[in-house]
Structure 1
Amino acid sequence: MLTIPASRPNAYTGSPLDRVSDRRDDADFVAAALASKESLIAPVWRSKSLLRGVEEGAPEAVLLTREAAEAVLMAGGHDQSTWALLGLNGGTPVFAVDCSAAEDPLPLLPEGMGAFHDLRAVAGLLPPGEASMLAHARGLMHWRTRHRFCGVCGHTCEPRSAGNAMACTNCNAQHFPRTDPAVIMLVVNGDECLLGHSTRFPNSAMYSTLAGFVEPGESLEEAVRREVKEETGVTVGACQYHSSQPWPFPASIMLGFHAEALSREVTIDPAELRDARWFTREEIRNPEAAGFLLPRVDSIARRLIEDWLEHAP
């Protein structure tokens, strides 16, 4: 099978942060970082990130100073249930703060701070480091809001490790942020690739790579072959790893592959797909002329397709 290297980093990678995992339990270090006037804060409001320049087509992340974020911190109760240390950016502490308790957090911020937006709508236009930090903040805050109670005994949990872990107040069970592994694969056969239109796609014209979660006791390659077989009936042989992408929407890591098809007949699973079919390279290069759309530019699905095009034999 042709080896297709990753041409460039995926969106949401390339974080500039030192996550200082060895210092998260140092109470003095964390307290000093939280109190520092140099600290920066990435607010998250109901899964949205603070951005400016979106309407102008030049989005940028807005990280608040401690002073600018004070009203937001107070609205959230100013306790450890609302914040987490993301890491150090060149020595500057960076925190995530969940300000979802505020009905509208913008009036609590200084003027000109932008607005809260869905990160996925603009990530392809953000500098890699900014997109990565905002994705980190969003993913961690999403996990925190959904793990307030212990999965072992049902009692309440409290933050630990500067907000990067939760501990049960009753049985002392430790809970850590979870990331669900999912394989995503471009199935190829000669000069064609297999794309599907998912029942979950909001855009009726978009076709994308196949994908699915890895199941317990399953290798990544086995997951690739199973998912393709289940969704399209196509048998896959060789699988070549391409790259990975954090996808905190809400909590996944996408593991990208190119996979070689051993059969061509397509029989879709209607619960998963509305359609799936083979596309030539020429159709992929001119999707609008062929009557379909490719996946969003910030997705690893798009990268798998583009790199396959660039490495035509």
Structure 2
Amino acid sequence: MTLIIYSWEMVDNYPFHLFNGFPNLYGFSGLDRRSVEREEPNWKKKLLNDPNTRFVLNWRSKSLISEPTLGYPSAVKLKSEEIPPNLEVTDQYVFLGQKNALWYVGIDISSVDEFELNRELPENSSFRDLREVGAILDRFDACILSYCRAIFYWQQNNKFCGICGSKTAISKAGHQINCKEITCRKPVFPRTDPAVIMLVYDDDRILLGRQSIWKKGMYSTLAGFLEPGETLEEAVAREVFEEANIEVEDVSYHSSQPWPFPASIMLGFYAKARSTEIRRNDEEVEDVQWFTRGEVSQFSKLGKSLPRKDSIARCLIESWLRNDY
């Protein structure tokens, strides 16, 4: 069955046709965000009383996860009556959207102390860092939890107006913040920081680097934030040159990935090397090397590892290994 939402063709409720390949995690949820509903002033009261509403909880940037003895972890999605009374009082919320006749709402309960929190949690559940479980969650669960995490991080960091310093208030179902000062009323919208991440190749080898804070032996693609007045292609070239002194050409876009750790969108590229002699920037990376296809395929035997499976970096590398780029 083919579903049309906002003129998106949905396949099995996921808009996979938008991506030529296997889509990155934390995106392509198939969620209808229903942005028009955000304008409804009584949306919260309406959805609290709707039996088709499901709530996901966020606590200090962690997500409530069910971990059964058998089976895979999943996001805990509570009905209104299942939310413990002491966890309901909050002004931090976000209306996420609708899928398969169910409404989804995120609630941030970071103000609840840890002792009180643990007394009220559903059986076999706990608050986990999304990065610990994201790769083994259902795609939809990973998407809505990353969505919540990003919005609540933004809300937590905008409690005061950046113009006049007054307190702010949440509006538009969690998607807008307004200064309370009547002479200011500055609106603020959710922020996403764009970052480029690129796989540089030279015939049958690729350029990978590592930072000292990463686990021992892990190598990944180079990456960096976009600067003002800079195109994405320029950012790719600048970052590679800054970190490895390698010049690139033929920069081509591959895919993107929401990365709410804390608030980025990763924009993936491939780039062909114009020069190959590495001069590492010690302040940027601990090591940078060229690796052949055979070496990357044998990383585990070499005492090395690739980036996490839920990352676009891993996707770029595996696509290159398959010659699918």
The normalised TM-score by structure 2 is 0.89
Cα gap change, 1:156/1:292 in structure 2, threshold over 3 Å: closer, same or farther? same
What does residue 120 of structure 1 align with? 131
Q: Using the TM superposition, give the Cα deviation of residue 31 of structure 1 relative to its aligned residue in structure 2, in angstroms.
A: 2.6
**Equivalent-residue separation in structure 2 for 1:179 and 1:54 (angstroms):** 34
Q: Which moved more, 1:57-66 or 1:225-234?
A: 57-66
- Alignment partner for residue 155 of structure 2, among 141, 144, 161? 144
Cα gap change, 1:110/1:309 in structure 2, threshold over 3 Å: closer, same or farther? closer
What does residue 190 of structure 1 align with? 203
Q: Report whether the alignment pairs 1:306 with 2:308.
A: no
Equivalent residues of 1:72, 1:99 under 8 A apart: no
Equivalent residues of 2:255, 2:268 under 8 A apart: yes
**Equivalent-residue separation in structure 2 for 1:50 and 1:56 (angstroms):** 18
Equivalent residues of 1:236, 1:259 under 8 A apart: yes
Q: Using the TM superposition, give the Cα deviation of residue 154 of structure 1 relative to its aligned residue in structure 2, in angstroms.
A: 1.1
- Alignment partner for residue 40 of structure 1, among 54, 61, 84? 54
**Equivalent-residue separation in structure 2 for 1:257 and 1:140 (angstroms):** 26
4+ aligned runs moved over 3 Å, structure 1: 54-57
What does residue 92 of structure 2 align with? 82
Secondary structure of the equivalent of 1:250? coil
Percent identity of equivalent pairs: 43
**Equivalent-residue separation in structure 1 for 2:78 and 2:71 (angstroms):** 21
Q: Using the TM superposition, give the Cα deviation of residue 6 of structure 1 relative to its aligned residue in structure 2, in angstroms.
A: 5.1
Q: Report whether the alignment pairs 1:264 with 2:276.
A: yes
What does residue 38 of structure 2 align with? 24
What does residue 216 of structure 1 align with? 228
| CA offset digits 1:90-115 (Å, max 9, x no partner) | 33221111111112223223434x11
What code does the residue aligned with 1:214 have? L
**Equivalent-residue separation in structure 2 for 1:72 and 1:92 (angstroms):** 24
What code does the residue aligned with 1:305 have? I
Q: Using the TM superposition, give the Cα deviation of residue 66 of structure 1 relative to its aligned residue in structure 2, in angstroms.
A: 0.9
What does residue 12 of structure 2 align with? none
Q: Using the TM superposition, give the Cα deviation of residue 57 of structure 1 relative to its aligned residue in structure 2, in angstroms.
A: 6.6
| CA offset digits 1:205-243 (Å, max 9, x no partner) | 100000000000111000000000001100011111110
Q: How does 1:242-253 map to 2 (within 5 A)?
A: 242-253=254-265
What does residue 231 of structure 1 align with? 243
Cα gap change, 1:55/1:117 in structure 2, threshold over 3 Å: closer, same or farther? farther
| CA offset digits 1:29-48 (Å, max 9, x no partner) | 44311332331111011111
**Equivalent-residue separation in structure 2 for 1:72 and 1:279 (angstroms):** 54
- Alignment partner for residue 174 of structure 1, among 187, 195, 211? 187
Equivalent residues of 1:236, 1:262 under 8 A apart: yes
The normalised TM-score by structure 1 is 0.92
**Equivalent-residue separation in structure 2 for 1:131 and 1:72 (angstroms):** 26
What does residue 135 of structure 1 align with? 146
What does residue 96 of structure 1 align with? 106
Secondary structure of the equivalent of 2:201? strand
What code does the residue aligned with 2:103 have? P
What does residue 121 of structure 2 align with? 109
**Equivalent-residue separation in structure 2 for 1:238 and 1:286 (angstroms):** 28
What code does the residue aligned with 1:23 have? E
Equivalent residues of 2:52, 2:101 under 8 A apart: no
CA RMSD of aligned residues (A): 1.8
What code does the residue aligned with 1:127 have? D
**Equivalent-residue separation in structure 1 for 2:83 and 2:47 (angstroms):** 15
Gaps of 5+ in 2: 1-18
Cα gap change, 1:312/1:153 in structure 2, threshold over 3 Å: closer, same or farther? closer
Equivalent residues of 2:92, 2:170 under 8 A apart: no
Equivalent residues of 2:87, 2:112 under 8 A apart: no
Equivalent residues of 1:199, 1:272 under 8 A apart: no
Q: Report whether the alignment pairs 1:61 with 2:64.
A: no
What code does the residue aligned with 1:195 have? L
**Equivalent-residue separation in structure 2 for 1:147 and 1:91 (angstroms):** 32
Q: Report whether the alignment pairs 1:241 with 2:253.
A: yes
Equivalent residues of 2:96, 2:106 under 8 A apart: yes
**Equivalent-residue separation in structure 1 for 2:299 and 2:267 (angstroms):** 25
Higher relative contact order (CA 8 A, sep 6+): 1
Equivalent residues of 1:24, 1:30 under 8 A apart: no
